[in-house]
Amino acid sequence: MTRRPFFLTLPPTLIAALSLTTALPAAAQDGAQAPYVLGGITLTANREAIELSRSGSSVSVLSRDALNGLEGQPLSRSLTRLPGVTLSQQGPLGTLGALQLRGAPAQYLPVLIDGIEVSDPAATKPYYDMGGQIGQGIGRMELLRGAQSALYGSRAVAGVLSLQSLRPTEDGLRHHFGIEAGSYDTLTASYGATLRRNGTDLAFQVSHVRTDGFSALDENDGNSEDDGYEATRLSFYSAQELQNGAVIGFNGFWEDSTGDFDDFLGDVAGTPGDDYSERESYGLRGFARFATGAIDHDIALTRYRIDRTSVSDGFESPFTGTRTKLSWQGAADIGQGVRAVFGADTEKEVSEGNGEARLNGVFVETTTALGDRIDITTSLRRDDHSRFGGFTSGRVAAVYRAPGDLLFRAAIGNGFRAPSLYELFGDYGDPTLRREASRTHEIGVEKQWGDSHLRATAFWLRADSLIGFDFAATACGQPFGCYAQVDGTARRRGVEIDGRYAFGAGHALTASYTFIDNQVDVDWARVPERVLNLGAETTLATGTTARIDLQHVAGRTAGLDDFTIVDLLVSHPVRDNADAYLRLENVFDEDYQWVRGYGTSGRAFYAGLRASF
């Protein structure tokens, strides 16, 4: 069979949108705060702060202002409005939720919270469960797309998601308060305090969420029992600048939650509330930043632990995992417009009852400025795993800043995922498993004018040596199969488009579109072919802001129907630094599913108040 060129397989509307990237008028004026902002700095693309215009990677940055009025909403809902992001959620808040970036499974997207990786070391597939994470307490989000193993090691195949808690932004003591109530007897509340004084930064926040929820398995299939969720979270941050300019600090978080779910039998009469999970986790990080001569140093020691127990029909399944990591990073200007970042790290993962493994890595990255318009970044990393041996990752990214605020980006790289401890040593594991390997490349163009922008990126991803469940495998000694290296190659290719058009005084339109051509020879992530997000916002003379967001998901797999949902948000200042808001989700009460058989929220109302003083 003769394949058509990739771009000829795209819908005509998408080709037209691509052609507009450089054709939109440059007459947009400054407008209101965008719900999704590009931000001026990226902290993850080069492992140190750099202007977004100098990064060859595709990055989305969401500020704290972008989450105003969305504090009680699942954080995944905000993330799925970004290009390239889809969701797999098995019911209401607190049930299993997995983020998929560029069509890759969730275990290919490491998640960092305040510099601590929170991918679950005890899970079959080690990823961060986003199902219970809400916007409350998040001060900044940064989504880095593309192969990043050359900087971040194992699992960073599709990208990296970094979440940052509350931080001081101005001198003095500030208090932050928020409360929200609404449908499904949902209540969220939070209090935070920040202090910046004489070289000291301190922050503390506590938040709580409780909801009765709705049935995890779809109510249309006869399930009637509500599946609720309750969680409490604490976070803290401290940093002190010393007289010699060095900075030392300590930060961390603690979370405790209980959430109901439905097993595959659904809601059986006489067994109410017998499927639930309890989870307690914490993360700690100590760090120091200092300079010796021309070299800037950054040393960090992190510890993450998760204890979770799944209870179903009276049967308990406990899982405990820990990750301890020590890292050092140096950076220096080495002349001729070249900046070098280099470092080493060692990481130990332990899963109680399922063994342990250590991963050591060293890396180096150079960014070369060719005049005022071109930056080329090359990255190389060598990892050594205590079980499968070594792997070398590389990446090259470039950006060209053409006249007229026009940027062209390109990147190519490879990555890997080490087998999880469960895949190696669990009841169905195989200790001889090798790593999964991948290759990715992308090209993009971005046009900016004032507060407006339009960006398009085409990407390709190929992964092989995949680890899956093989019913014919015998290495684990089980009669029904084992985890094994399976035949076949997984491929993804697609286009991401996002833009913002600001006009008048306080008005803006936003949009994002993702097209993914699903070429999968094996059982991999199931993602929709097309996701379209549209938004409009306005600010009135009274200070009232109104926003409407539409999301259309189409080209679903597994026979799932397409769907369209609409959300509304209205916010009004009640006094200085205090706003009341009303949020209406799923305005038209759309009946849809993210995962076959699992329910989603109908029309829901939420009202809240937030203040800072």
Q: What is the pLDDT of residue 268?
A: 58
Asked if 373 contacts 348 with a C-beta cutoff of 8 angstroms, the reply is no
Q: What is the pLDDT of residue 6?
A: 41
Q: Using the 8-state DSSP alphabet, how is residue 418 labeled?
A: P
Amino acid at 32: A
Could you tell me the pLDDT band of residue 272, with boundaries at 50, 70 and 90? low
Mean pLDDT of all residues in 405-422: 95
Structure token pair of residue 394: 């590389």
Q: What is the pLDDT of residue 267?
A: 65
Could you tell me the pLDDT band of residue 521, with boundaries at 50, 70 and 90? low
Mean pLDDT of all residues in 584-593: 96
* DSSP track, 379-447: EEEEEEETTTEEEEEEEEEEEEEETTTEEEEEEEEEEEEPPPHHHHHSTT--TT---EEEEEEEEEEEE
- In order of 72, 210, 328, the CA distances from 187 in angstroms are 8, 5, 42
Q: What integer best gives the mean pLDDT of the chain?
A: 89
Structure token pair of residue 425: 């040593």
Q: Which range has the worst mean pLDDT, 205-209, 255-259, 262-266?
A: 262-266
Q: What is the pLDDT of residue 570?
A: 96
Asked if 114 contacts 163 with a C-beta cutoff of 8 angstroms, the reply is yes
Pairing of strands 138-145, 159-165: antiparallel
Mean pLDDT of all residues in 19-33: 36
Find the largest Cα–Cα distance for the chain. 74
Tell whether the torsion through CA atoms of 160, 143, 299 and 304 is positive or negative.
negative
- Residue-range domain boundaries for the chain: 41-612
Hey, which residues does 192 pair with through a beta bridge?
176, 205
For residue 15, pLDDT over 80 is answered with no
Q: Which range has the worst mean pLDDT, 251-265, 358-372, 561-575?
A: 251-265
For residue 26, pLDDT over 70 is answered with no
Hey, which residues does 595 pair with through a beta bridge?
none
Residues 481-520 have pLDDT tens digits of: 999 998 888 889 999 999 999 998 889 999 999 999 876 5
3-state secondary structure of 12: helix
Structure token pair of residue 327: 């890292």
Structure token pair of residue 361: 């890595």
Mean pLDDT of all residues in 237-250: 96
Beta-sheet strand order (sheet of 116-117):
59-63, 138-145, 159-165, 111-113, 116-117
Give the DSSP H or E segment for 374: strand 374-385
Q: Which range has the worst mean pLDDT, 239-253, 377-391, 523-537, 578-592?
A: 523-537
Q: What is the pLDDT of residue 16?
A: 40
Could you tell me the pLDDT band of residue 266, with boundaries at 50, 70 and 90? low
Asked if 315 contacts 21 with a C-beta cutoff of 8 angstroms, the reply is no
Mean pLDDT of all residues in 173-193: 96
- The candidate with the shortest Cα–Cα distance to 52, out of 116, 149, 143, 135, is 143
User: Rounded to whole angstroms, how far apart are CA atoms 584 and 568?
Assistant: 5
Total Cβ atoms within 10 A of residue 585? 20
- The candidate with the shortest Cα–Cα distance to 303, out of 233, 369, 250, is 250
Residue linked to tokens 């308060």: 177
Could you tell me the pLDDT band of residue 4, with boundaries at 50, 70 and 90? very low
Tell whether the torsion through CA atoms of 267, 270, 273 and 274 is positive or negative.
negative
CATH classification number, 41-612, choose in 3.30.565.10, 3.60.15.10, 2.40.170.20, 3.50.50.100: 2.40.170.20
User: Rounded to whole angstroms, how far apart are CA atoms 305 and 256?
Assistant: 12
For residue 34, pLDDT over 50 is answered with no
Q: What is the pLDDT of residue 558?
A: 77
User: Rounded to whole angstroms, how far apart are CA atoms 37 and 32?
Assistant: 11
For residue 263, pLDDT over 90 is answered with no
Asked if 364 contacts 341 with a C-beta cutoff of 8 angstroms, the reply is yes
Q: What is the pLDDT of residue 22?
A: 37
Q: What is the pLDDT of residue 2?
A: 37
- The candidate with the shortest Cα–Cα distance to 581, out of 135, 23, 264, is 135
For residue 446, pLDDT over 80 is answered with yes
Structure token pair of residue 33: 């705060």
Q: What is the pLDDT of residue 517?
A: 87
Could you tell me the pLDDT band of residue 91, with boundaries at 50, 70 and 90? very high
For residue 17, pLDDT over 80 is answered with no
Helices (H), 295-420: none
Q: What is the pLDDT of residue 523?
A: 64
Total Cβ atoms within 10 A of residue 12? 7
* DSSP track, 50-61: EEGGG-SS-EEE
Tell whether the torsion through CA atoms of 5, 6, 10 and 14 is positive or negative.
negative
Mean pLDDT of all residues in 569-573: 95
Asked if 54 contacts 374 with a C-beta cutoff of 8 angstroms, the reply is no
- The pTM for the full model equals 0.90
Mean pLDDT of all residues in 331-346: 94
3-state secondary structure of 179: strand
Residues 99-157 have pLDDT tens digits of: 999 999 999 999 999 999 999 999 999 999 999 999 888 888 999 999 999 999 999 99
Could you tell me the pLDDT band of residue 160, with boundaries at 50, 70 and 90? very high
For residue 11, pLDDT over 50 is answered with no
